[in-house]
Structure 1
């Protein structure tokens, strides 16, 4: 049991560093909300979109990571879009809140073959805090260090840059998050100053030959962290079916693994969602595949959304349904 507790602490500490490196990315983007990953997707579509996510990791383990987030994006002209992201993340006695303001611009590469190129930028403001007031004595540490007091909080600013290429149902997105290095005090402790990470998201939306209202969407999400060259990949597949009113439902599955451990996945699980009269709901369940599997019931995520203020664009680079 003692080894298990140490293992949990190590993972939690690693997740704490990851929190400071980037917004937590699980399967939020698969809930028909690619804007989670990149500012380049802002404004693509005929509506202003609101998506609210609630995610609880490792249900059954005390003080496990918990995250809530809000995403809003829409078109602000025929060829441009804007978006806003807010999130709150809790992991034991650590707290992180953040906001992203994003802008995107879309251009036509070739009108006939429907090839488009998009550029995006986000400004990020993040705050990180340790709830030292919740520290309690333990058997091994019977007295709390009196030097640990006051408000243990810090804020930082950064930027994300992205580019997106689309050709009919094919899409390829490349994003660089946290392009600025972090300023740190070398005398206060060891922490990563390279917050930069790289993300690739690509996939293809295929229409069924037997039923034009049915779509298949395989996709891949890859992320690489500069701080320690750690990288992971998501392999995803979705089935989507529309009705005559453009309402739809979808089901899918995601498989996440470290790139040096393909057959030892971090998480794997099903997901499903529905759009009805511009109201959106999705649920995702991720099974934990490691030594913690026997102590929790997995990771659960719920997404609720609304689409409103429909407006048809004069530019095909932003019009039409796109997920």
Structure 2
């Protein structure tokens, strides 16, 4: 039984690596008022310095399940540009991934009276993937396993976003460059790491004085290496108390060839009080791994600092 469970976990880990290779695992972190984790175009949108820390604990109940920590921060530079940085550390069984993303975005005002804006962004990515050889030595007692088994990748993301009033749509392409396969088996190892994202939504309120705001949104992701695609359907409700607010919602993710069989359903809640931010989400897994795991936790904490850096309406 234990052997069968170990094989199952290893297989799930390999599937996860194939899906997330040289990327930070993306679940519902972006719904914690942190869309910068998706695309560089969001760098500098806001009249403050935004800092978000994310903790991701996957497959709760399974020993040595994946764990991810990340830091996202972005700030306005002048009236029309923004800079951002994203750092992550990901542990999955006997493998480790660390990465960094440096982003620049430029924001243009198309119509100041209609609040119509166009943003363009680019990111430089650095990722390192390595095998924890100490764990292999301890597990197998094999002294021949030596050296630091690792590989690094340099890559780029680009994106564009259009906003009008409370409607938004962004298109992003990540990992534009093919992977160098000289250190791998080119027959079995894919070299196309490109992923394509489309994220769109609308923030609705009854009137300007309404304390309630409803935000439906959709995230579509396409993986070029194998043609897989998946979709998130989201619904978010905010309750405002002057500049503070509380929110709750639901995230529904599915593969596009299996619409009626969701990968998970994730309720999420959070609040912003003064400059402090907190968000929590729990992914309820709805596939075969449900027999072994309780689900996945995502926690976000953050601060919004130095408000008032820009007077441009495109910060809102």
The alpha-carbon deviation at position 4 of structure 1 amounts to 5.0
Matches within 5 A, 1:166-245: 166-185=163-182, 188=185, 190-209=188-207, 212-244=210-242
What corresponds to 2:100 in structure 1?
Answer: 99
Aligned equivalents of 1:163 and 1:60: distance in 2?
40
The alpha-carbon deviation at position 312 of structure 1 amounts to 5.0
Per the alignment, in what secondary structure is the counterpart of residue 135 of structure 1? Answer: helix
The alpha-carbon deviation at position 209 of structure 1 amounts to 4.3
The alpha-carbon deviation at position 20 of structure 1 amounts to 1.9
The alpha-carbon deviation at position 268 of structure 1 amounts to 0.5
Deviation digits for residues 68-119 of structure 1 (CA, Å, limit 9, x no counterpart): 0000001011000010000000000100000010000000112222110000
Task: Determine if contact 1:176/1:197 at 8 Å carries over to the other structure.
Answer: yes
Unmatched 5+ residue regions in structure 2?
Answer: none
Task: Determine if contact 1:195/1:226 at 8 Å carries over to the other structure.
Answer: yes
Matches within 5 A, 1:173-322: 173-185=170-182, 188=185, 190-209=188-207, 212-244=210-242, 246-311=243-308, 313-318=310-315, 320=316
Per the alignment, in what secondary structure is the counterpart of residue 17 of structure 2? Answer: helix
Task: Determine if contact 1:51/1:71 at 8 Å carries over to the other structure.
Answer: yes
Is residue 37 from structure 1 mapped to residue 38 from structure 2 by the alignment? yes
TM-score (norm 1): 0.92
Aligned equivalents of 2:198 and 2:97: distance in 1?
25
The alpha-carbon deviation at position 315 of structure 1 amounts to 2.0
Higher mean C-alpha displacement, 248-257 vs 127-136: 127-136
Task: Determine if contact 2:67/2:91 at 8 Å carries over to the other structure.
Answer: yes
Task: Determine if contact 2:43/2:74 at 8 Å carries over to the other structure.
Answer: yes
The alpha-carbon deviation at position 45 of structure 1 amounts to 1.1
Deviation digits for residues 111-159 of structure 1 (CA, Å, limit 9, x no counterpart): 2221100000000010111012211687xxx77483x321101111000
Aligned equivalents of 2:208 and 2:113: distance in 1?
25
After superposition, the CA RMSD in angstroms is: 1.8
Per the alignment, in what secondary structure is the counterpart of residue 260 of structure 2? Answer: coil
Task: Determine if contact 2:204/2:215 at 8 Å carries over to the other structure.
Answer: yes
What corresponds to 2:58 in structure 1?
Answer: 57
The alpha-carbon deviation at position 59 of structure 1 amounts to 0.5
Deviation digits for residues 282-317 of structure 1 (CA, Å, limit 9, x no counterpart): 110001111111221110011000001011523222
Task: Determine if contact 2:282/2:295 at 8 Å carries over to the other structure.
Answer: yes
Unmatched 5+ residue regions in structure 1?
Answer: none
Higher mean C-alpha displacement, 162-171 vs 106-115: 106-115
Aligned equivalents of 1:113 and 1:122: distance in 2?
29
Is residue 83 from structure 1 mapped to residue 92 from structure 2 by the alignment? no
The alpha-carbon deviation at position 193 of structure 1 amounts to 0.5
State how many pairs are aligned.
Answer: 314
Task: Determine if contact 2:76/2:309 at 8 Å carries over to the other structure.
Answer: no
TM-score (norm 2): 0.94
Aligned equivalents of 1:308 and 1:137: distance in 2?
46
The alpha-carbon deviation at position 9 of structure 1 amounts to 2.2
Aligned equivalents of 1:6 and 1:180: distance in 2?
33
Matches within 5 A, 1:8-19: 8-19=9-20
Aligned equivalents of 1:92 and 1:312: distance in 2?
43
Per the alignment, in what secondary structure is the counterpart of residue 317 of structure 1? Answer: helix
